[in-house]
Structure 1
């Protein structure tokens, strides 16, 4: 497996133009010049790749698509591109340094490459293409203004956010199993003895997803973050234990739920319910 540490070696290796900078690279694809690699590769930087009218050789009967693809430093790119050399498109390559210095701009989409591409409508292709033309204008200028370039990258990411929301809403059935599996995993977690509170990363690993991707899907379809969903379930379970297990004291319930410190459980419960666990139990007993 080849590992490309920088833009220059990667571009040379697959037949792209020589980059003008070590931290940001913008360019257009010239498919006939692309060198199809025979082994898997990893790039040690971030890539946003837009391919227009992209058609796979392995599925010749399927209509061409236009889509945004993402590559991150930990993502293995399979051998060959399996693409007919008839597509057009553009790419944006960003160093780890640029990502870290501008992390607030990039949100969560860069690790979506492990799960799904963003499929574009013709109108969306036009919008993305217009942004790339402006990016190229400032990238190719000898006095490159990186603040302007980064601003256009921010616009591109904002478009990606809007387009992903459209994609999530277009075919919700495609994502239903993720929500169902997440909710079932929460139930399964508390059907066994626990030693700590669950977190989003735990369920993402369980489902074979990245935490960002799981969080975005859950937020889109439940209007609450994955962490808020976890907290809601913990509170629901806490209420059940307080009402149905009168012999258990607050400390025992805290440990049962995975809290390391009982005081933290009491504060957490009070923040969510506006009552302490003891007050909630007493109120419930009085109602009955």
Structure 2
């Protein structure tokens, strides 16, 4: 496997123009002058790559595709690639430094490359191409328009967000399976003794997904973040334990749910329910007694 730590060495390897900057690189693909077949590669930076009418010889289906692809420092392209010299497209390369310094500009899609490409329709290709023309313009003017260039990168990422929402809605069965598995794994988590509250990363690992990717799918289909879904489930379990297990005191309920500190459980419960655990138990017991009292 070949590993590249900078734009210059990677561009030279695959036949792209030399970068003008160490932290951001923008350009167009020119397949006749590029490396069309390669072994596995990895890069120590981020890439957003738009390829139009791409035919991958490694796929049994030779139908041309038009899509956005993502590479990140943690992603390895294990099979490499072997493509026809017929596609067109453009790319943006971003250093880890520029991502960290401008994290507010970038969303979670940069690690989506581990899961799926973003397929584009003709109108979306036109929109992205228009943004790219402006990006190239300000890229070639170098540092004097750096902030403008970053703003257009942010526009590109915002378009990607809109397109992913469209893709999620186009094939809901594929994503509903992930939502269902997440919900089932959440139920199963509490089928055994626990020592901590589960987090999004735990369920992402169970599903073989990145936390960002899982979170975006859960948010799209439930209108709540993955963490909000987890908290809602924990609250439901807490209410069940408080009402159905009267022998358990508040501290024991907290430990049953995986809270390390009972005081944190009480604050968490109060924030979510607007009652302390003791107040909720008392209110629920009073309600049950009232319902059981004959009129």
TMscore range, shorter length: over 0.9
Q: Provide, for residues 83-118 of structure 1, a one-character-per-residue CA deviation record: whole Å limited to 9, x for no partner.
A: 211110001001111111111111101000001111
Which residue does the alignment assign to 2:21? Answer: 21
Runs of 4+ in 1 over 6 A off after TM superposition: none
Q: Give the TM-score of the pair, scaled to structure 2.
A: 0.95
Please say if residues 195 and 258 of structure 2, whose CA atoms lie closer than 8 Å, have aligned partners that are also in contact: yes
Which residue does the alignment assign to 1:31? Answer: 31
Unaligned runs of at least 5 residues, structure 2: 289-295
Equivalent pairs counted in the alignment come to: 288
Q: Provide, for residues 194-250 of structure 1, a one-character-per-residue CA deviation record: whole Å limited to 9, x for no partner.
A: 001111111111111100000000000000000000000000000111111111110
Structure 1 residues 158 and 283, CA, compared in 2 at 3 Å: closer, same or farther?
same
Which residue does the alignment assign to 1:76? Answer: 76
Please say if residues 36 and 83 of structure 2, whose CA atoms lie closer than 8 Å, have aligned partners that are also in contact: no
- Give 1:78 deviation, angstroms: 2.8
The two structures, once aligned, show a CA RMSD in angstroms of 1.3
Which residue does the alignment assign to 1:169? Answer: 169
- Give 1:57 deviation, angstroms: 1.6
Which residues of 2 match residues 1-288 of structure 1 at below 5 A?
A: 1-59=1-59, 61-141=61-141, 144-288=144-288
Structure 1 residues 59 and 202, CA, compared in 2 at 3 Å: closer, same or farther?
closer
The answer to which of 9-18 and 136-145 deviates more is 136-145
- Give 1:82 deviation, angstroms: 2.5
Unaligned runs of at least 5 residues, structure 1: none
Please say if residues 14 and 37 of structure 1, whose CA atoms lie closer than 8 Å, have aligned partners that are also in contact: no
Structure 1 residues 143 and 261, CA, compared in 2 at 3 Å: closer, same or farther?
closer
